[in-house]
Structure 1
């Protein structure tokens, strides 16, 4: 049986399989942060399904978080910590 997955905020992330219990036929073992409640078949581009604990609501589509540039982050860290930069330089 298909189970619909959601993240800690309840936002839909995908689907997985729920297995039938080997000890209780007809009982489904639903993975964590998943539900058997059917998800809407379609939704507008600016909306996204969010599970409220009972059913799916359509909420404003979240914007993806910007991924920080690791080189810029390291450069800033080394500028703020010249002792670490000096240790790295000595190891060369």
Structure 2
């Protein structure tokens, strides 16, 4: 059986990785494409601020999605108490020290 290199993308069309499509055991020359994949090769390189996105026909470079920094529970609580001083008064400031 033969294999073919194909290129996978996520549900948003953003490039994920290169993978392999296997040849169909019942139909020689026909390859079984993994979900969300294409035979069209993405750009070999791209700037750090963009990412390849498959639009159904070709790859385009779009601004790279920004990943929001996770907020710690302590910071989340501090922001909540700052925005809700009545809650801070109910629980007492001394109990937080």
In structure 2, the gaps of 5 or more residues are: 78-97
Equivalent residue, structure 1, for 2:58: 55
* Off by >6 Å, runs of 4+ in structure 1: none
Task: Report matched runs for 1:67-78 at 5 Å.
Answer: 67-69=70-72, 72=73
Q: Which residue of 2 aligns with 1:24?
A: 27
Query: How far off its partner does 1:68 sit?
Result: 4.7
The match for 2:49 among 27, 46, 51 is 46
Cα distance in 2 between the residues matched to 1:49 and 1:9: 11
TM-score, with length taken from structure 1:
0.69
Could you tell me which runs of 5 or more consecutive residues in structure 1 were left unpaired when the two chains were aligned.
77-92
The reply on whether 1:10 has 2:13 as its aligned counterpart is yes
1:67 CA displacement = 3.4
Count of residue pairs the alignment pairs up: 73
TM-score in terms of structure 2 length: 0.66
